Amino acid sequence: MTSTTPPRAERSAGPAAIVAVRGATRHYGAVHAVDGVDLDVARGELFGLIGHNGAGKSTLFRMMLGLVPLTSGDIRIDGAPVSGGGFRAVRRKIGYLPENVVLYDNLTGFETLQFFARLKRVPANECAPVLERVGLTHAARRRVREYSKGMRQRLGFAQALLGRPQILFLDEPTNGLDPEAIREFYLILRGLKADGVTMILTSHILAEIQERVDRLAIMAAGKVQAIGTVQALREKMDLPLWFHVRLPRADFERVRTVLGHLPVTAVEARDDHVAVQCRREAKMLVLQALASLGDKVLDLHVHEPSLEDVFFGFSD
Amino acid sequence: MELRQVGTIAGKEFWDRLRNRWVLAVALVFTVFALVIAYFGGAQQGAVGFRSIGVTIASLVSLVIYLIPLIALVLGFDAIVGERERGSLDLLLSMPITRFELLLGKYLGLAAALAFSTIAGFGLVAVVLSAQLDLPALFHYFGFMASSVLLGMAFLSIAVMLSVFAADRTHASGLAIAAWFFFVLVFDLLLLGALVVTGGSYGGEIFPYLLLLNPADVFRILNIFTLDDVRTLYGLATVFPRTLAEPWLLGLVMLAWIVTPLAVATWRFRK
């Protein structure tokens, strides 16, 4: 599979970029964990970062937060470098939910938020509303030790929301949440997006992310392999689509006949249908040809490539 | 540096230790040991009850020199590596805080817990004994308490340094135990051995200085040298020149033992 590097214009989120990553590289000895990543995230955008374990997305995340120094390249948050003299001002604009967040077992939920609020210089009276927002008010006085995995994740998220950050970095944020909680979580994200908050999140649950992000980047082997909207990625990959044509067995050969001159890539006879594979640009031609079979066709399904196909196409 | 950030971290560490009753437990250990030593320390001589402050402090020093380094090392060995291993370090470092502020906050919070235990534990004994102590004796006892605090701070600083260098908690605990063995048990034996091997020919001049390379020895000298009635009981302390035995000078050496490991830890933690 070819790795397509889109031109800069498509990668760029324009002048409003709040996160600008230029040639970011991190080497651990011979291992190139992150290798020349260019990335722009626009203000107010909900941006997804996907990739297999070890693809480099967590390292890139930690580089964007200033936790891992760059071997080379440059990362700017709202125009300022993430480390150096102005780092405090940058950090105060950021909320971060680490992957598998670990909090302090001996503190209560409320005390945990108070601790982080003090570090972020956020007034203590912001803690209760944030707990309310993530649905933990009932457990505010209980020790984190007694929290379930999902509750810890919510508390970690609450901590990230302290101080009304302009940018949220959420690493696998729905880990450990049940489907209902995941729905609630994205509801909160939608509210934040309406407030103009920029969010960057990683996930390996592609089906979950594809309906919800504005754009996404696919990482593999330390590089961004593709970046764009889900639709743009699908088109760019030009993965073939499949027609499943159900018709009587006796008429299977007719399908081959009507498609004879068309650029189809495969025609397979299956139990009760014929599967036809073609490239996206031939889609309408194939459909017309199949329509010429008239009432021989009992049923027709079109299978578009899923984001999984796109993802595996890029990351294999 | 923002002191408020240091204070927030220190406050959390201190309250953690207070809340899980660590401070109380250690203070109790100190109180009980000190009382037992004060009343039964002379039992070998066939008498019980408080005898003299000199003997009591000398006995306490022998105990504290083992106990406080151990407690300090156990308290501090996972300060950083523990957060790293549990996975909470990244979140802390993503806050508007520098690595130095985090390290200093951790150290000061733990140091406050240890100092509080030491002063409360031995202080209670001072209150109990106060009826039997005159002013100079109280002064000596106060000196013992202050030097015990310094001893704890020095070993805590070493522990925090080890917690920065160690790859994981197991490694850190191994290093802490090794540090305890080295400073508390092995160091003096090595010095004595070297003194015997060289036949004492270069002993006189260098050995007192070599003793300064061990905070436990500095603590011993601080306490023993000022007490004439027990000085002769201690071998190594007697080779110590009076000019070096100034409490303020030894206090400065202790301070160096507190600052240096922390400085090394900061350098390493920033890398």
Q: Which of A76-80, B58-62, B176-180, B263-267 is the least confident region?
A: B58-62
Q: Tell whether A106 is within 8 A of chain B (Cβ).
A: yes
CB contact under 8 A, B91 and A119: no
Average pLDDT over every residue of B11-31: 95
pLDDT value for A266: 86
Which contiguous run of DSSP H or E holds residue A276? strand A273-278
Calculate how close chain A gets to B90, using CA atoms only, in Å.
7
Indicate if the pLDDT at residue A257 is higher than 60: yes
> Which amino acid is it at A102?
V
Q: Tell whether B85 is within 8 A of chain A (Cβ).
A: no
CA-to-CA distance for A1 and A20, rounded, in angstroms? 28
CA-to-CA distance for B57 and B144, rounded, in angstroms? 7
Calculate how close chain B gets to A79, using CA atoms only, in Å.
17
Give the residue among A113, A110, A167 at the shortest CA–CA distance from A139.
A110
pLDDT value for A40: 94
- Residue of A112, A119, A153 for testing the chain B interface, max B β-carbons within 10 Å: A119
Q: Tell whether A123 is within 8 A of chain B (Cβ).
A: no
pLDDT value for A240: 85
| Nearest residue in chain B measured CA to CA from A171 | B91
Q: Tell whether A119 is within 8 A of chain B (Cβ).
A: yes
Tracing tokens 């990230």 back to the chain, one arrives at: A160
pLDDT tens digits, residue range A259-295?
A: 888 888 888 888 889 999 988 888 888 888 888 888 8
Calculate how close chain A gets to B89, using CA atoms only, in Å.
9
| Facing B86 at nearest CB: one of A66, A102, A115 | A102
| Nearest residue in chain B measured CA to CA from A169 | B94
pLDDT tens digits, residue range A192-224?
A: 999 999 999 998 777 778 778 999 898 888 999
Cα torsion through B213, B215, B220, B221, rounded to 10 = 50
pTM: 0.85
Q: What is the value of ipTM here, to two decimals?
A: 0.89
